[in-house]
Homo-oligomer: A and B are copies of this chain.
Amino acid sequence: MIPKGFRVIKPEIRVLGVDDGIFELRSGGFATVVGVVFRGGYWLDGVMHTRIKVDGFDAGEKIAGMILGSSHFKQLRVVMLNGVTFAGFNVVDIKKLNEATCLPMIAVIRDRPDEESIREALKNLPKSGERWKAMRGGGKMYAVQARAGAAKVYVQVAGISLEDATKILRLTSTRSNMPEALRVAHIIASGLTAT
């Protein structure tokens, strides 16, 4: 999909932030994924959830279903993911997720990933080539200064230009160097899955 240009980015743009909760590593079980709807960087408007298989291959499909089935879908303008791997190495191909939902995707992580150790970890999992391909499918990773004076974040985009993605990250990173929808999705997902 050719990036859809934003003519204007409204301060109250509806953003979905997606993160996973706590799960048992290599358990073959399930992990909860939480989606948090924010108006820009300030107001929480909704919460949705789904469950995906630890180290499975259903993250993209399940997250697409969660988004498309949500009552907030029509208001959403952009989706932010906490990276492209969920519940271990259940990898989301952000290009496919962009196509499936017709929504621009911005994958954001705090630390630049160490490709070497990811490749090593993948070796222990079935279909490691497929997972690697999905991770690379997210395209080039850019360092972005989302918040003045804070550490840069690392970003991959699909269906949106890096320029527009940067504007949206700046607008919505109101409390830390991560966009508020992702900061809060992390707190909710981990707060509700901790025992």
Q: A residues engaging B (CB < 8 A)?
A: 32, 34, 42-49, 175, 184, 187-188, 190-192
How many Å lie between the Cα of A43 and that of B187 in the bound state? 12
Query: Can you show 15 pairs from A to B with CB atoms below 8 A apart?
Result: A32-B192, A34-B192, A43-B175, A44-B184, A44-B187, A45-B187, A46-B187, A46-B191, A47-B187, A47-B188, A47-B192, A48-B191, A49-B191, A49-B192, A192-B192
Instruction: Name the distance in Å between A89's Cβ and chain B's nearest Cβ.
Output: 24
Number of chain copies forming the complex: 2
Residues of B within 8 A of A175 (CB): 43
Chain B residues with CB under 8 A of A44: 44, 184, 187
Residues of B within 8 A of A192 (CB): 32, 34, 47, 49, 188, 192
Could you tell me the distance between the alpha carbons of A34 and B48 in the complex, rounded to whole angstroms? 15
Contacts of A184 in B (CB 8 A): 44
Query: Chain B CB within 10 Å — which of A34, A44, A46, A184 has the most?
Result: A44
Other A-B pairs beyond A44-B44, A45-B187, A48-B191, 9, CB < 8 Å = A43-B175, A44-B184, A46-B187, A46-B191, A47-B188, A47-B190, A47-B192, A49-B191, A188-B192
